[in-house]
Every structure is written in C-alpha cells, then in structure tokens.
Structure 1
Amino acid sequence: MSEPASYKTPHLILKLVLGIPITIAFFWGFLWAGGGLGWTRGWGLLGVMFVGETLRAVYTARAQPEMAKRRGEVGEGTPTWDKLWLTVFSLVIGAVFVVAALDGGRYQWAPLPAWWFGPGLVAYVLYLFGLGWAMAQNPHFEKSVRVQSDRGHRVIDTGPYAWIRHPGYLATFFGFGLAPPLMLGSGWGLVVALALLIWLIVRTALEDRFLQRELPGYADYAQRVRYRLFPGIW
C-alpha cells in the first residue's frame, strides 16, 4: 500500500533538513582527514562528485520518475540479510574515503602521482554512464533486494542487462571503489577498494539465489546471461 501524501511531504522535508548537517559534517571530516581546507585533490573529488551526482539524479528523475522517488528507501519485504549487507556496505564505502583521504592527503603512506587523477575521473564518468544506463532500463532499480510484487516486478534483459546480470554493482565499484583512491592519489585506498569489490560480489551471489527462488523468469534469465559482474569471469 502506498503512503498517503500527508505523510510523504513532511517525511521528505525532514530527510532533507537532517541531510544538510550530515553532508556538512562529511565534507568537513573528509577534508580534515586529507590535511585541511587547502587539500586540492580533495576539493577536486568533491566538486566532480557533486556535479556528477546532481546530473545523475536529474537524469534518473526524468528517465524513471517513480523509481527515483523510492530509490533511497529500503522497501517492504527486504530480507534481513540484505539490511545487514547494506549496513556493512555503507561502512566499507566510508572506509574507502577515509583511508584514501588519510593516505592521499594527510600522511602520504603510499601516494600515487598527480596524473592518476585523470584515470580516476574516467572511472567516475564510466560509473555515471553505467549506472544511468542501468537505471534507465530497469524500473525496479531499488536500494534493497526484494520482489516488487506491488509494482509488477519482471525480469529486465535489455541494455546492459543483456551482457551482465548486475551492471549497477559494476558501475558502483568504478564510482566508489576505483575513482576516489585514484583521484586522491592513494595506493592504500585501492587496497580497501578490494574489500568493496568482494562485498559487491557477495551481494550478487545472495541476490541471484534470492531472485532465482522468488522472481518468475529469473532462473531462465540467469541461464541466458551467465555472468553477474564481469563478462567471461563472474
């Protein structure tokens, strides 16, 4: 059952108001970890991500307006294991940024040359295109794993889903695993990014098992499109 409009409006306003100090705290903490307000690479990453995420949000709202409204929510029917996965996922993403900031900015444990900002920017652009393409094709692209019986959930096999079963996760690794350490010049950040990749692989396995059991047609789709993340590998 959909939520009444009288609930949705103040709920969204509250989320927005609470999000402002959280965002400010994140920016301050990130720049502090990198050495302070004069950290050029840190400002560069924040600027790129601010512009990129804004463009992605606008594009998604136009391409899939209904999906965009519920994208940040954990939907009804989400299994407990996925709620746990999402919690750990947030921690791992945070670890990538913290370690990359400490290494690439403040302490320089394993610094990468400045020109690595370019490949990092390419990785982030690939993330934007990959995630945008997947979202445009898939009206069921939600934050959590569940069968959206309230929205006529069906298997999507067009666009990037014709090549791999979880293109959004591959894009996420490019955007939040590879891009931050490369743009910030952090070798140790790339090591932590491996933990993110492993955690994404874990979810593809768990999600596939869930969908093959619960979503009609997904088992046949998994036979047609054999690979989850990397064509020819996994």
Structure 2
Amino acid sequence: MSIRVVGFGPGGAALRTPAAVEAIRESDVVVGYETYVAMVEDLLGGKEVVSAKMRQEVYRARVAVEMAREGKRVAVISDGDPEIFGMAPLVLEMLSRYGWRPSGLEVVPGVTAALAAGARLGAPLGSDVAFINLSPLLTPREVILRRVEAAAAADYVIAFYNPIDRGLLREALAAVARWRGGQTPVGVVKDAYRRGERVYVTTLDSVDVDAVDMRTTVIVGNSESYIWEGYIITPRGYHRKYAYP
C-alpha cells in the first residue's frame, strides 16, 4: 500500500523527471484532475484511473487515501510541483486527519510553473522569489493583497500563479508598482512548454491583463531586474562584489 503525490512538470514529456515517470508507471491507480490525466495518458496503460473535475480536490485526496488503505499503490498527480499550489498539502492533511501513514508515502517533485516560465523568459528568478497564488477561491482577497504588498516592499521577484481574477491581478500589479515603478520588467507566459505556448516581456505599466488567464504565470522583476534582447535578467549580485571583464 502506498501513496505517491507526483509532480509531472509543466506538461511536456521532456520535462518529466525519471522519478515522476517511474512513480506513475509503478502505480495501480492514478488519481488526478481530468486535464492532468490527459497529459500523462501515455503512462496509463492497464491502470485504474480516477479522473475528476476542477474544484474536486478534496474528493481526489479522499479517494486516494481510501484506495491506498485497500492495499493499492496510488499515484496522485499534479502538473508542476505537487507542493506548490498542488495536491501534496491536501493529501498529507487528509492522511493526518485519518491518523494513518501508508508504508509507502512519497512526494515526487516536479518543475513548477515559475521555473518553466522563468526559463522561457531568460533569468528573471536570479534573486529571492515569492510565489503568490492569486486565486481567491481558498484565500481571502485581503490576505492575498497583504502578501503582495509585503513581497513588493521587501523587493522580492514575484511569480503570480492562478491569476483567474483579473480585477485582483490589476490590484496586485498596482501594489507592486507603488514600490517599484511602472518600468519594472514583467514576463507573461501562457502554457509554458505546452502546445499553444505564448511568451512576452513587458513592463508593469503595459501588462495586458485581459490576455491573462489561469494557465498563465506572471513574473514581476525586482528593483534590479532589466530587459535585454527580449529576456529578463535579475542579477544575483556578483556585480556588487566582482569586477566584470
């Protein structure tokens, strides 16, 4: 009996880790959101599949735990990384409420959206980064905006996930602009490493919020970030210590 919570990366097979592929192939049952199940269809031959719709995360976690208690090897799949706004916290919370730890419990990391988007944008994540989920479904708007304000004040690079509420995204970008100014670099990546991928670099003053949806990751640079040849670069700080040739 086992539960593996598996992150299979942004979607493309090339960015799945060998550990993620092995975990899915070794399972008896795969549990996931229907879109995620379709992304790993090539790994599902001969397996029992439990597919659920959006906002049925609690159902997925409960089914996974119940099937593991029946002695099955269960893989709960998430795109990206399962800890970062994925299924790992919920599955482990469910296990803690059951008061039961399966003999095989593992969280298999994956390439999270900010890393995939950052790679497409160049090097925007070169310094300290805050990951902020802009979905107000589970976190109150005022809490989200308070976190945005704190990250902006501390000069973090900010990676915004799940910008499903465009009004909230506008408020978040405005909060950052109050600390950094309108010319701060912003990268917008939709469907990173998937079919239909769209990448563009802009500034806080010029973000097309209407073109952003839940499949988009928005990365806002810090006070030192700059744009070069269509890429965003956030220096790590070597320029403050070493003389460049």
TM superposition score category, shorter chain reference:
under 0.3
RCO comparison, higher one (Cα < 8 Å, 6+): 1
Specify the structure having the higher radius of gyration (Cα): 2
TM-score by length of 2: 0.24
TM-score by length of 1: 0.25
User: Whose helix fraction is larger, Structure 1's or Structure 2's?
Assistant: 1
User: Whose strand fraction is larger, Structure 1's or Structure 2's?
Assistant: 2
